[in-house]
Amino acid sequence: MEGAAASSSEESGEAEESTGEDDLEDAWGAALAEQADAEVVDEAEEGGDEIAPATYENLENQGITESRTPEDINLDVILDVPVTVSLEIGRTRMSIRNLLQLTQGSVVELDRLAGEPMDVLVNGTLIAHGEVVVVNDKFGIRLTDVISPAERLRKLR
C-alpha cells in the first residue's frame, strides 16, 4: 500500500516538478555564480593581487573599408596566389533518381539560352560575363562585361 501511495503522489507531483526544476536550476546557477565570485575575491585577498577588468579595442573597422580605392590597397602581397577560373555554361536541378538514370548520350537541359553570355567565376565568385571562342583548337572566352574592381573587392568579403 505504501508503494501505491508513493506512486500516486509522484504522478500528481510531475506537473509541479517541471516548474520546480526551472526554479531549482535558477537556484543552482545563482549559487554557483556566488561561489565563483567568492573564490575570486578570496584569491585576490590572499595573494594581494589587484583585479581589474580587461579592456579591448574595437576591431570592427580595421579591415578594407568602402572609402579605400583599389589603388590604396597594396596587392603585391597576393599577386602570385593561384586562383581557379571557371566558366559556367548553365545550371539545372534534377532528382537523384534522374541523375542515376543518366547514360552516355543523355542530354541535360540547362537554364541558359544558346548565345547567352557565360559567367566567368574566380574561386566561385562571379567577376565577368563573356562569349566562348576557339583559340588554337582550345576553348577560350572573350570578356564582354567585367565587374568593377570595387565590386569585386566587396564580393570577396
| pLDDT, tens digit (0-9, with 9 covering 90-100), for 130-157 | 998 899 999 889 999 998 888 877 776 6
Please say whether the structural domain 85-156 has been given the CATH code 2.30.330.10.
Answer: yes
Helix and strand element counts for the chain (H, E): 3, 4
Which amino acid belongs to residue 103? T
Write the pLDDT tens digit of every residue in 55-92.
766 666 555 555 566 565 677 778 888 989 898 888 99
pTM check: above 0.75: no
SS (H, E, C) 38-53: HHHHHHHHHHCCCCCC
C-alpha cell at 42: 578570496
